Amino acid sequence: MNSRAPLDPRLLEALSAYLDGQLAGAEKAALEERLSREEDLRRHLVELRAVRESLRALPPVKPPRALTLSRAQAGEPVRRFEWFSSGRLALGSALAALAFAVVFSANLFSRGITLGAAAPMMVENFAAPAMLQATGPLPAPSASGPQEKYGGGESATPELVSPPSKTALDGCGESSGPDAAAERCGLGGGFGDQPPPQTFSLPDFRTLAPYLEFLLGSIAVLLAGLAIFSRRRK
């Protein structure tokens, strides 16, 4: 009773489409003509129809629980973007603003030091090459000790730098001996030795500070804007 011979895939497609009313015109007419002649083809059609009806008759199934979404589930989508929630953005903005304030203050402070008490030291150090030129070639190291090495320079130092830093250098070299004066005035060890670290780190920071201020300021403003945008979207 069952159809036995497997159908050609094209014929099977045509038969299935015919069942669904998807064939038209000449194709439909040709298939109907064959159906009227070939009993095996009719068996195939009936079986395919039976399968279709069985599928259509499958009973409805119900979910084991309601599938409604909780607030948390609805928010889950943006788990990846939770890093960019308005709260975090606002916090980031505040931190960037704080960092900006710290850098800005430090920059102001460093400039204050430079223009005030630190100025003479800077000037003295920057004046060193000029002074060396003024004092002429140094004596050979073997000929004299460290104190004698810059002996001529020490007496020249206050004169060379005195115009901008006279008050700061008051008491240097006159009442005490040259060595003590040199120590008090930060000249101990001579110009050839390592300079105090802040002498070169301060200009570095000052160069960097405007960029840092700009960067941190921009980040703070950008994050604040994103925080406001994110809050509004909610």
Identify the residue among 24, 29, 46, 91 touching other proteins (CB under 8 A).
46
Give the nearest distance from C-beta 11 to other proteins in angstroms. Answer: 9
Span from 62-70, 111-119, 212-220, 222-230 in contact with other proteins (CB under 8 A): 62-70
The distance of Cα 18 from the centroid of its chain, to the nearest Å, equals 62
Q: Answer yes or no whether residue 101 interacts with other proteins by CB under 8 A.
A: no
Q: Which residues of 1-27 are buried (b: 16+ CB within 10 A; e: fewer)?
A: eebeeebeeeeeebbbebeeeebeeee
Q: Answer yes or no whether residue 52 interacts with other proteins by CB under 8 A.
A: yes
> Quick one: 42 or 184, whose CB is closer to other proteins?
42
Token pair listed for 57 = 């008759």
Q: Answer yes or no whether residue 232 interacts with other proteins by CB under 8 A.
A: no
Give the nearest distance from C-beta 105 to other proteins in angstroms. Answer: 43
CA distance 180 to 187: 10
- Among 30, 75, 195, 29, CA closest to 124: 195
CA distance 128 to 153: 10
Site string for other proteins, 6-45 (x = CB under 8 A): -x-x--xx-xxx--x-x---------x--xx--x--xx-x
CA distance 171 to 161: 14
Residues in contact with other proteins by CB under 8 A are: 1-2, 7, 9, 12-13, 15-17, 20, 22, 32, 35-36, 39, 42-43, 45-56, 58-69, 71, 73-74, 76-78, 234
